Amino acid sequence: MAPLLQLSGVSKRYGGVQANAGIDLRVDAGTIHAILGENGAGKSTLMKLIYGVERPDEGQVFWQGQAVALSSPSDARRLGIGMVFQHFSLFETLSVVQNMALIVPGSKAELATRIRDLGAAFGLSVDPQAMVHSLSVGERQRVEIIRCLLLNPKLLILDEPTSVLPPQSVALLFDTLRALRAKGMAILFISHKLEEIRELCDCATILRQGRVTARLDPRQGTAHDLATLMIGRPMPPPVHPTPHGLGEERLALTALSFANEDPFGVSLKDVSLSVRGGEILGIAGISGNGQQELAALISGEIALKSSASSVTLMSHPVGDLGAAARRKRGLAFVPEDRLGRGAVPDMSLADNALLTAHSRGLVQNGFINRKAERAFTAECITRFDVRTAGPQAEAGSLSGGNLQKFIMGREMMLNPSVLLVAQPTWGVDIGAASEIRQRLVAMRNAGAAIVVISEEIDELFEICDRLQVLHKGHLSPSLDVAATSVEQIGTYMIGAAA
Amino acid sequence: MKITFERRAALSRPVLFAAPVIALSLAMLTSLILFAALGKPAGQALYSLLLEPFVGWYNISEVLLKMGPLMLIAQGLAIGFRANVFNIGAEGQLIIGALCASALPVYFPEGSSPLMLPAMIAMGALGGAAWAGIAAGLRVRFNANEILVTLMLTLIATQVLNYLLLGPWKDPHGFNFPQSVTFPDAALLPILLTGTRVNISLLAALLVSALAYVMMRHRFSGYQLLVGGLAPRAARYAGFTEARAVWVSLLLGGLMAGLAGACEVAGPLGQLQRSVSTGYGYSAIIVAYLGGLNPLGIVVSAFLMAALFIGGDNAMVSADLPVAAVFVFQGLLLVFYLASLTFIRHRVILNWTRRA
């Protein structure tokens, strides 16, 4: 029998970059097929070719044995291919159900019911009437998954689908995917979480630098083997921090409450935390539970005029101060959105270094010192292994992982007393992610106070000393990582803790 | 068919210079056709419009005279435009600047103090800044759109000008014309090029251009404005306040426009009259964009626009063109410039989708 989907010798080039080179792939009905590769290995491009977003320069795509030329995602959907994107492809000014109605037939009321049913069945709770612009990245991804399932596709492509789910929901999602496989559906599963792939997938195709480097059964061999095949060298070991003496309190939130004016935003209620020098506090939780608001309240992008003492930095009340004033007191911040917030896409890396490093001798008497700016940028590029043409490259031209390394490097080079990092390894390849985690631990050992907001529980357990869980604007009590379990955190994440 | 615009990667400088050239050529071609359709001598019209300004010393000096205020205002506006603060009311700020500068010679028509001129210039600049400051205050305090506020303030400024010229400030010996007394010599700018009307304000405009270049390229304050324009969330992240960007942009724009207004009454006009408002404030918007919002580019585009003004006057006389034709040409120039810039910055991809 002909395979459901077959690719032979497919290549795609963007300008000077060979994103895919001579890729052969075979996906059979009733299997879950993993696509593994680092960021920039060509996974996303390959998926775009299959989903009709892009057309291959060379090679042929066969669907149930027939050669097909997909020229748009609607062609792909007509054949029975559904895709859940890593980055949202939703209209922000429409509600969830309106977004669904664009490609799914049926009345809105009917759709809203199906959305609620699917949400309940798979632990993907989303208000069908909510406007997409008010949803967090995590919630948008849930909407994407539901939208695909509504169409009952023959082949479902999932691009890093589990990155936004709490552990309990991951298990539920896997049950769902297994049920779909049992019904004969084929699933292309992209993930960098190797344990997940070993647990779920029947076969795996490994990509490196746009080429297929291995095809294998992931259930044979260890996660370590898979990682080695994927990054082309042995994987760096995890870096559990060793306990050591703590310094003084650097950052504290005391009974902080924030009433969000945005009706779809999250209000924070009675949030308290305290971080001392030499420790990493992790804020776990699925995004959309107040993470954005919490980060902005700590960074000073949201200032509370009336309650200065609810936020203290180095024992000084700063709740009423803006971002610049808090930075002066020793705070540095790596935000979750890199383009447009952590960096200006249209500016060079050198000019992006200036964004927050201007106080480090890069500006003298109001004049920009271009030499110092270039030197700082070049040092950041070298020390943090940013792959780029140089300090003059536009920030927008860097891959997500490289830009994250640059922003992380820039903020770390400020030698902050307190470092706030939101989603440090989102969309970052496995090698770079482990490097970023190592550097965070190194900073902690050097005495910095660090707050990491992340959805990746494994990551938090690897590097944090203590964890607090954010759920619907409430922050759980502090839990010692050594004395807690993933399940316990997961219970807090879905608000089920007593 | 699907048409998509894909942003090109890095652009070389020469390519960016192509946009104004293409725009000028297309605007010429279109207006040639338009003039012909109007039954006017098209060749003669274009000659008057484009070449005559450069024929003879007198014409060239008149171009330089008009270039000054255009350059001044456009430099101020461009700073705001790059920070996404759209001051559309430079015309009103110019009028208020002219009014404030005129107050001194109107009340001291026999004045001869050497301090009179500097005081006039300062009052003009501050007056323009204060007028724009109203819009800044409303935007920061009430989030009132600065495009609308500056535009409406221009209408108010025009009425203030009318009131003063028809009432309290009217020259008692002026045969009832709506104009002020002629200014004493102490209130007039020294002539730069003897035998012409070009005064030292041209040097001031060039100096301002140099300062604008330094500010936008080398000053941290200019960089903060650019970040605010390119990525407002990054500006908030870094702690550059939006309110400051609004104030700086509007005050600088108003300052420059007010300065230009003062230089007009203390320069070629020599008195306050209604014709101080000839649309420099609006044309400067075109000048700013034609110059790519770049301080150096604006020097060139101000010169071109000034030549168009002189050429337009000539064409009205020699080719019997209506005054509107000149504005049409300016409009064509801006539209073609923005269009060619879009095509230069983006690649157009036509996707002929065949339905399966």
**Residue B222, domain CATH:** 1.10.3470
List, as ranges, residues 7-36 from A with C-beta within 8 Å of B.
15
What does the pLDDT read at residue A490? 81
d(CA A28, CA A232): 28
Q: Kindly determine whether residue A323 and residue B237, on different chains, have CB atoms separated by under 8 Å.
A: yes
CA dihedral B288, B292, B296, B300 (to 10 degrees): -70
Q: Residue A198: which of A224, A173, A172, A179 has the closest Cα?
A: A224
What is the pLDDT averaged over residues B72-95? 96
d(CA A169, CA A145): 13
Do B176 and B190 touch, CB atoms closer than 8 A? no
Q: Residue B287: which of B276, B303, B263 has the closest Cα?
A: B303
pLDDT digits (tens, 9 = 90+) for A417-447: 999 999 998 777 777 888 889 999 999 999 9
DSSP SS3 for A62: strand
Q: What percent of chain A has pLDDT over 70?
A: 93
B241 contacts on A by Cβ (under 8 Å): 322, 324
What is the pLDDT averaged over residues A193-217? 88
For residue B1, is pLDDT > 70?
no
Say what the ipTM of the complex is: 0.79
For residue A158, is pLDDT > 60?
yes
For residue A190, is pLDDT > 90?
no
A299 contacts on B by Cβ (under 8 Å): 237
Query: Taking the CA of residue A295 as centre, how many other CA atoms within 13 Å lie in the half-sphere pointing to its CB?
Result: 28
Do A468 and A294 touch, CB atoms closer than 8 A? no
For residue B17, is pLDDT > 90?
no
B356 contacts on A by Cβ (under 8 Å): 75, 78
Please identify which residue in the block is written with the tokens 């892009």: A54
CATH 3.40.50.300-classified regions of chain A = 5-231, 238-330+416-498
Q: How confident is the model at residue A208 (pLDDT cuts 50, 70, 90)?
A: confident
Q: Kindly determine whether residue B353 and residue A326, on different chains, have CB atoms separated by under 8 Å.
A: no
For B130, the domain range is 39-321
Handedness of CA A157, A162, A164, A166 (dihedral sign): positive
Handedness of CA B288, B289, B290, B291 (dihedral sign): positive
Asked if residue B329 belongs to a domain, the reply is: no
Q: Residue B303: which of B186, B206, B232, B172 has the closest Cα?
A: B206
Mean pLDDT lowest for which of A27-36, A40-49, A137-146?
A137-146
pLDDT digits (tens, 9 = 90+) for A45-68: 898 899 998 889 999 999 999 999
Provide the 8-state DSSP code for A343: B
Asked if residue B335 belongs to a domain, the reply is: no
List, as ranges, residues 74-103 from A with C-beta within 8 Å of B.
75, 78
Q: Which two tokens stand for residue A304?
A: 């509370």
d(CA B6, CA B1): 16
A323 contacts on B by Cβ (under 8 Å): 236-239
Q: Residue A86: which of A146, A34, A44, A132 has the closest Cα?
A: A44
Q: Kindly determine whether residue B239 and residue A75, on different chains, have CB atoms separated by under 8 Å.
A: no
What does the pLDDT read at residue A428? 76
What is the pLDDT averaged over residues A127-143? 79
One-letter amino acid at A476 equals S
For residue A16, is pLDDT > 80?
no
> Taking chain B, what is the end-to-end CA distance rounded to the nearest angstrom?
14
Asked if residue B339 belongs to a domain, the reply is: no
- Determine the Cα angle at A431 with ends A429 and A436, to 5°: 90
Please tell me which residue, B96 or A400, carries the higher pLDDT value. Answer: B96
Q: Which two tokens stand for residue B275?
A: 């014709």
- φ/ψ of residue A215, rounded to 5: -125, 125
Give domain A5-231's CATH number out of 2.40.110.10, 3.40.50.300, 3.90.1150.10, 3.30.70.1230.
3.40.50.300
What is the pLDDT averaged over residues B305-321? 85
Q: How many domains does the structure of chain B reveal?
A: 1
d(CA A463, CA A459): 6
B7, B11, B220: which to substitute to probe chain A, counting the most A Cβ within 10 Å? B220
Please tell me which residue, A397 or B332, carries the higher pLDDT value. Answer: B332
Q: Kindly determine whether residue B218 and residue A367, on different chains, have CB atoms separated by under 8 Å.
A: yes
What does the pLDDT read at residue B356? 39
B233 contacts on A by Cβ (under 8 Å): 337, 340-341
A365 contacts on B by Cβ (under 8 Å): none
Nearest CA in chain B to A370: B218
Q: Which two tokens stand for residue A280?
A: 């990493």
- φ/ψ of residue A111, rounded to 5: -60, -45
What does the pLDDT read at residue B2? 67
Q: Residue A133: which of A85, A84, A93, A86 has the closest Cα?
A: A93
Q: Helix axis angle, B323-345 relative to B13-37, nearest 10°? A: 140
Q: Which two tokens stand for residue B111?
A: 């004045």
Q: Residue A119: which of A146, A150, A139 has the closest Cα?
A: A146
Homologous superfamily of domain range A238-330+416-498? P-loop containing nucleotide triphosphate hydrolases (3.40.50.300)
d(CA A154, CA A79): 8
Residue ranges of chain B whose CB lies within 8 Å of a chain A CB: 9-10, 218-221, 223, 226-227, 230-231, 233-234, 236-241, 351, 353-354, 356
Asked if residue B28 belongs to a domain, the reply is: no
Q: Kindly determine whether residue B230 and residue A78, on different chains, have CB atoms separated by under 8 Å.
A: no
d(CA B337, CA A35): 47
Nearest CA in chain B to A338: B234
